[in-house]
Structures are given as C-alpha cells and as structure tokens.
Amino acid sequence: MLRIAYARVAQESNAFSPVLTELLDFERCHFHEGADLHHRCGPKGQEVVDWIKNAELSGFRRAVSKLGRGQIEAVPLFGAWAIPGGPLSVTCFSTLRDKLTAMLKAAGPVDGVFLSMHGAMMAQGSDDPEADLVDAVRAVVGPDVKIAVSLDLHAQLHGRFVDNVDVLCGYRTNPHRDHVRVGFRCGSILVAALLGEVAPTSAWRSLPLICGGGTTIDFLPTMRPIYRWMKRAERDPRVLYVSLFNAHLWNDSPDLGWASHVVTDNDPALAERLAEELADLLWSVRHEQPPTFPEGHEVVAMVRQARLQRMLGTVCVCDASDIVGCGAAGENTRLLASILEQGQGLTCFVPVRDAEVVDALFGHPVGERVSVHVGGKLHPEVNTPLRIDGTMLASRDGGGLGRTIALDLGHVKLVVTSGPAMAMKPAFYSDLGLDPWRADMVVVKSMFPFRLYFLGHNRKTIYARTKGVTDFDTMHQVAFNDAVHPRDLVEHWRPADRRRRGVPTA
C-alpha cells in the first residue's frame, strides 16, 4: 500500500500591516489534525467551517479514492488556515513548521506528500516561509518522495520553492471557485506519478510585472483568452497542468511578479516552450491596468444615483484600501465617516474591527445608548479613530471573526468585530439580524469573493479608495531587484526572469 501524507498551512499575508498573525488566528478559523481533518475532508465533512464546505484537501481525497485503485492510503497530518493578515510572528511560523515536520515523522514512511498552501504567506525571520516549509518536509522524506502543492492564483514563485516541488497546481479562477477541482487535479497527478503512470517535469517563468491584466477576473475579456489558451494547451496528453500566477500586490519580495508554470509528462522541452509562450501572453496584457477608484464622498453620491439598482437589490461597496481579504486590519474609518456625513436617506451596512469596543459592549441590552470611538487602534499611523453615537442592536459569539456586535447609528448599521472584519458573505450581516435586501449600500472588505457570495443581492459594484495598506501604490515602498511594470518602464521581461531563475546570460 502506497501512502500519501496531506496537510495545509495557508494564509495570504500583507507585508504592510503591523498586525502580526498569531497561532490563535489559525485556531479560530481552521485548525484540525488527524482523524478530525480526515473526516472534514471526506464526503460528509465540512473542510472549513463558516467559510467553505469543500476545498483543496477534499479534492485531493477524492482523487485518491477515485484514481488510487485501492493501492493508496491518504494519511492526514493537520490543516491550518487563517484569514489574511499581517506576517506570521516568529513563534507562530516556527510552531506550524515544527508541527508539520513532527507529524510527518510520526506518520512513518510515506511515498508522497500533498500540501495545500497559498503562496503569498509572509513571516518574521523568513524571506520565503513556504519554501522553508517545503524544505522542512523534504528534509524529513528525502529526495525521492514526490511532493505536490496546490497554490492560490496570487502566489509568488521563487526558485527555491519551485525546485523542491514535483507537482505544482494553481487556481484557475478569479474570484476563486475551483478549490476542489484544483485539489483533485493536483492530487490526480501525484497519484498517477506514484502509480508509475506519469513522470512530472516542469518549467516556469517569472515576470517583472506586478499589476496588469485589467481586473484580472478570469471570465472578463482581458484574461479570458489567456485562460482559454491554457485549456487548449492541456488538450495535449503530454501536458498535465498549466498555471499562471498574478502575484499578491502586498508582498514585499524584491522579486515580486507574475509567473507562468507548466507541468508535463516527462517532456521538459515542451514545458519550457509552453512556460515561455504563456509568459509572453501575460506580458501582452501588462498595460491593461485596474480602473481608478473613487473616494468616499464620490462613492456615496454614486450609490445615491443608483436608484434602480437599489430598488432591485443593493449596491456592494468594497473598501479597496482596507481589504481584510488582502491582509488589512479592517479598522479604517474613512469610508464610514463619509457615509455618516453624506449618506442620510440611504440604509447602509458597514463593518469595522475594534476588539476594545466589542469587549466593552458585548451582551449589553438592545436599545442601550452608546457613545464610543471605533477603529484606528491596531494601525493608528494609517487609521484614525472615529466617534460614533447610537444604540445596541445585537451581539453574537462564535466563528472565525470572534465576538461581534451590531450598532444602530441611524441610517448606518455598524457591525463591529473583535477579530478580522471579513465582510464577504451576506451572513456577516444577516447573522446579526441585518437583512442585505433592505440595505441600499453594503460595505464589504473583500477584493473578489464577495462578487460570488452577494451575487443574488448585488446590483452594482463600486470600489472605494480611502487610503490604507491595500492601496495599489504600496508597490512604491518595495525595494525591487529589477525595474518592474507599471512602476517603471520595462521593455523586456526576459532579463529579469533569467536572473530570478538563476539562468546564465549569454
């Protein structure tokens, strides 16, 4: 019987947030091990409670069950997944790394390892924590054991990481909706490799490109032709998987950039050719930049003018400078201030993170008058506290957001969280008795996923710029090794790619 150990260590980190990610952040979102993890990733389990029923590890288990011919055992280690935030603390990262290696050693000899990662994790004391994790796994299992890794579309590829992985598969959708499929395909290649049916070989390219492709949504015109090209490439039975990576803008890597990656069946020359062609395609859309976002006061006016959309549903406003889904603290009050000042007559739902306020008011009776300052306590250099006056509406305990309360500020209903203010799903509000159907404006702290979850409610989407750690121009704070587009004028991508991959120049 062949054995494949499987685990998850995943978080998307924001280098510009001072709010470090600790082990508690993983524990209250997704932290399971052994038989518990195995059940959650099985047919009757829920892999990540409150967030997603099935994800990559569930897909991997399906691949083993369907394609393993009864010859492969899936051996659960542990799963750790945290809401995006600042870099992992030294203690948090070392604890996760040591737990991974200890459980892998305790599992006994294995023939393969499947890891679900994000690809944009950052940690204190490490220039590439995910490469460190793979290095640690490789040190335990040896050079001959196959390692497969699934990654988010916004992963950052580095040579040390890529060189130590046998099978690498990234998401192919944005907003992400193919977690299970990617886990299944990545697991299928690993299973086939262990059964001697394929011999994975790979190639990759790294581009000095950090922002392009328009909105980068996979089904819109700018990126859709590229994803179609990838699917056509995979019709060749020699091509096992094709990935592109748009990178995470708020990573401070000096080699940050988009990347292409191709896995073939024992055909390295084909992998090299396709990785090169895909890189050229990605470079061709570099001038398609995201749209310019309006500021807070402009957003309120736009919502007010969207009368028909408000009659038929709601308007979703993403606070694009304070996106919790991209690692911000979620305590920016600038948009809230604009809505309070100019949004009279509009029913608006707004989130903010403030553990002190939640601790002070949690469980207080409905209707009680309150006067507090919210926000601006985790990152005061960027975010300013705002005084609010209102009444208690509700309190709720549980979930990855920690304890939450709802306050009635008149035309604004404010949800205050003790943990990350991950306003991404309608349930963020409805669990506290706030019906999104009754709102003219719903503020979210998610870049893309809210478009899926609010699909039934949302009739217009607006991204607001309010100044924070998820502004696109934070790229100017990074000390890059190369000139990068669009910050700099870059004529050709190949020189930077060769340096990044360690390829000698002629």
Nearest by Cα to 9 from 80, 57, 91: 80
Nearest by Cα to 250 from 357, 156, 348, 381: 156
Mean pLDDT of 192-210: 98
* Preceding peptide of 385 cis, ω within 30°: no
* Residue indicated by tokens 């299970």: 180
**How are strands ordered across the β-sheet holding 259-265?**
200-206, 259-265, 239-245
213: left (phi over 0), alpha (psi -120 to 50) or beta: left
Q: What pLDDT sits at residue 505?
A: 74
Task: Using pLDDT thresholds of 50, 70 and 90, give the confidence band for residue 401.
Answer: confident
pLDDT at position 506 over 70: no
Q: What is the pTM of this model?
A: 0.96
Domain positions in the chain: 2-198, 201-292+475-506, 296-464
Kindly report the average pLDDT of the chain as a whole number.
96
Q: What pLDDT sits at residue 272?
A: 98
Mean pLDDT of 320-345: 96
Q: Which residue has the higher pLDDT, 401 or 172?
A: 172
86-124, pLDDT tens digit by residue? 999 999 999 999 999 999 999 999 999 999 999 999 999
Could you tell me whether strands 112-116 and 2-10 are parallel, antiparallel, or unpaired per DSSP bridges? parallel
Strands (DSSP E) found in 18-91: 30-33, 72-81
DSSP string, 268-279: HHHHHHHHHHHH
Q: Which residue has the higher pLDDT, 36 or 402?
A: 36
Nearest by Cα to 265 from 189, 187, 194, 191: 189
What is the fold, at CATH topology level, of the domain defined by 2-198? Rossmann fold (3.40.50)
Q: How far apart are CA 280 and CA 454, in angstroms?
A: 35
pLDDT at position 398 over 80: no
Give SS3 for 54: coil
407-453, pLDDT tens digit by residue? 999 999 999 999 999 999 999 999 999 999 999 999 999 999 999 99
User: Alpha carbon of 32 to those of 78, 83, 100, 267, 319: distances in Å?
Assistant: 6, 15, 12, 38, 32
Q: How far apart are CA 146 and CA 378, in angstroms?
A: 42
Task: Using pLDDT thresholds of 50, 70 and 90, give the confidence band for residue 202.
Answer: very high
